[in-house]
Chains A and B, each alone.
Chain A
Amino acid sequence: MTQQAPPARPAFAPPRPWFSSARFLVLLVGLLIVYAYGWRVTKINLSELLIGTKFVRPFVVDLFRPDVASRGVERQEVQLGMSVDAAVAPEEMVPPPGGPQLLVPSRVTAVGAHLLVSGQGFRPNATGTLFWVNPIGNPQQVATFRTDAQGAFAATITVPEVFRGPESGPRGAQQRLLARVTWEAGPLRPSRTLLLVGEKIIETVFLALMGTTIAIVAAVPLSFLGAKNLTAKNPVGTTVYYLTRTFFNVMRSIEPLILAIVFTVWVGLGPFAGVLALALHSVAALGKLYSEQIESIEPGPIEAIAATGASALQVVRYAVVPQVIPPFIAFTIYRWDTNVRMSTVIGFVGGGGIGFILQQYINLLQYRQAATAVWAIALVVAALDYLSAVVRERVV
């Protein structure tokens, strides 16, 4: 039998596992409170996602059939005189011979009556609409139909109560039935929506370009003032440095959308307001990035060139500029990317560009037209993203 040594007592108690330490538990409770409140205050309601599916479906469906091309529209129309008063004879209308014909069991009927309307001689396999036309010529849609291979159709309508015009006499009872068949014909052409979207997307790209360019012109000189290592060498310089930095920080924190609202008030609706908004925000954003880049350059070359007796301007030109140009280009391209994306929505507040018509399409529930705009935005942003990635790779 072997003698077993008693287990050695540990010199120190082992540390409690991390999950049972008091600090962790307090942290856990704190986090739970934060997220519980966050869930409530942002009204997260996952069931809405399911309930709302039917509302969003038309939009999603139309997203995949954007309005990009169309043909000319041709139509066939036939009218038939009707009467809703047995005492009043219906108007006699002579349809062109050989053309389509409308047939009803009786041309004298009554409001609320069901009427079997049939037709023949229409364009085969086309869609059409039946309208009830009141005495002053206002049509009211009562049915839609589709013609068969022989150009015939049949549909049941309910005779509607319509405005009988200023005179409520016998002529007010003389009404009409109108059948209209439409179909697309002719070559496929870019739709009007596509042309408008194209025009607006070009405006959008140039909005971003002008905004970015103005921003570069202003941000480059400002960034030297906002660089601590160049400017903050004496009390005046330090004041200039803090003023510049404060300007950068304040302007950067105001979203371009808000600036655009201010500028639409100032210079009116349109792309100019958008350009100003993007430019002002980008001056601050670029200026901050630029000046931080200037602050992080190697001090050695500055010292070396200052030691040769060069002036401040020469030191900046030969010691600072060569070091900051590649990062400046990278930041500028990044900003241009951001501005292209931003310019697509700046139209929502009247700042010009494609956002303006996109918002209109959405408000008018013209989802196919909205889809055209959305696709255009996606294509242009992706293309410019790719382009700037290529440029950045070449330069930096």
Chain B
Amino acid sequence: MKGAALRVEHLTKIYPDGTTALRDVSFDVAPGQFVVIIGLSGSGKSTLMRCINRLIEPTSGKIYIDDVDVTALSQAEMRRLRRNIGMIFQQFNLVKRSSVLTNVLCGRLGYLPPAWALFNYFPADEVARALANLQRVGIPEKARTRADQLSGGQQQRVGIARALMQEPRLILADEPVASLDPATSHSVLRYVEELNKKDGITVLCAIHFLSLARRYGTRILALRAGQVVYEGMPADVDERRFKEIYGEDAVEVEIT
């Protein structure tokens, strides 16, 4: 399994109410990179991520994943492509009343015949795969627990296991640790880092804290008001760049 290459060209998204969320965004991601996207709330990070797997339809511009033009795909082709794009969310987005195991198995739905859903049927090898992925994120004993019984960090790990079920080549992580405490943030990000380092999965990860961005990112992309305002190495984001990205009044908060 090899990470996917991502190329975004002149991507623009204007919402029906006239808000311009993304303005002519272009960048390249090489396979296996861990790209951290930083920027204020509302700077377009979430919109960018959702345009890449077309949960949100871009207004104009092109997105290439391994030279496949995502924006030109039909709905059915897009669904097939989504199987290889894992997504992790700030609010975890688990089905709270379902078991952890079912939540993880949901990551595999794109590979299974839809009719099986009517009978809630998953083949034994998929269940085994789900248990293996839960093992990998360190909570195998929680398989039968209801998802809303878990702590935030555990829920996010279920989210990672669900993404792993897709055998993804690209992971979109939309502020995966913004709802977690600092210690848990590190443990969750370490799992994401491991997927990136060990499996070579390309990661696009929105993070608020610069310290976390410097620690985990191999590259940083900064958005401000829907535009890319900085692109470079994590270590190069100094006080001056920080104020460019976050505005003059911003003060960097350390998280260790």
Contact = CB atoms under 8 A, between A and B. Distances in A.
Contacts of A311: 79, 109, 114
Interface stretch (A212-220, A296-304, A367-375): A296-304
Contacts of B86: 308
B14 interface: no
A256 B165 CA distance: 51
Contacts of A308: 82-83, 86-87, 106-110, 162-163, 165-166
Given A304-B87, A308-B162, A323 B82 contact: no
A311 B85 CA distance: 15
A318 B116 CA distance: 11
Given A308-B107, A308-B110, A317-B117, A303 B93 contact: yes
Interface string B68-95: 0000000000011111011101011111
Contacts of A310: 79, 106, 109-110, 114
Nearest to B111: A309
A364 interface: no
A93 B91 CA distance: 102
A36 interface: no
Nearest to A326: B97
A381 interface: no
A313 interface: yes
Nearest to A306: B55
Nearest to A304: B93
Interface in B182-216: none
Contacts of A323: 95-97
A237 B193 CA distance: 42
B53 interface: yes
A301 B148 CA distance: 13
Interface in A28-78: none
Given A309-B80, A318-B95, A322-B98, A304 B109 contact: no
Interface residues on A, range: 20 to 34
Contact of B55 (A303, A317, A319, A326): A303
Nearest to A299: B93
A300 B98 CA distance: 14
B85 A307 contact: yes
B102 interface: yes
Contacts of B94: 301, 304
Nearest to A319: B95
B253 interface: no
A300 B55 CA distance: 12
A140 interface: no
Contacts of A298: 93, 96
B120 interface: yes
Given A309-B166, A311-B114, A323-B95, A318 B82 contact: no
B39 to A, nearest CB: 21
Interface in B95-125: 95-98, 102, 106-112, 114-115, 117-118, 120
B81 A304 contact: no
A322 B106 CA distance: 13
Interface string A313-328: 1100111001101100
A368 to B, nearest CB: 52
Contacts of B81: 309
Contact of A322 (B89, B92, B95): B95
B172 to A, nearest CB: 8
A282 B131 CA distance: 43
A301 B117 contact: no
A329 interface: no
Interface string A114-133: 00000000000000000000
A300 B83 contact: no
Contact of A305 (B106, B111, B120): B106
Contacts of B79: 309-311
A322 B112 CA distance: 19
A313 B117 CA distance: 8
B221 to A, nearest CB: 21
Contacts of B96: 298, 301, 323
A303 B159 CA distance: 13
A300 B111 CA distance: 21
A300 B93 contact: yes
A135 to B, nearest CB: 82
Nearest to A300: B93
A270 to B, nearest CB: 37
B173 to A, nearest CB: 12
A314 B122 CA distance: 12
A309 B110 contact: yes
A314 B108 CA distance: 11
Nearest to B116: A314
B145 to A, nearest CB: 15
Contact of B95 (A301, A309, A313, A326): A301
Nearest to A312: B114
Contacts of B95: 301, 305, 318-319, 322-323
The listed residue with most B CB atoms (<10 A of its CB), out of A301, A309, A318, is: A309
24 contacts: A300-B89, A300-B91, A301-B95, A301-B96, A304-B159, A304-B162, A305-B95, A307-B55, A308-B86, A308-B108, A308-B163, A308-B166, A310-B79, A310-B109, A311-B79, A313-B114, A313-B117, A314-B112, A314-B117, A317-B118, A318-B117, A319-B106, A323-B95, A323-B97
Nearest first, the 3 closest Cβ-Cβ pairs linking A and B are: A309-B110, A300-B93, A304-B93
Given A309-B82, A318-B95, 17 more contacts: A300-B91, A300-B92, A301-B95, A304-B159, A304-B162, A308-B86, A308-B165, A309-B110, A309-B111, A310-B109, A310-B114, A313-B118, A314-B109, A314-B114, A318-B106, A323-B96, A325-B97
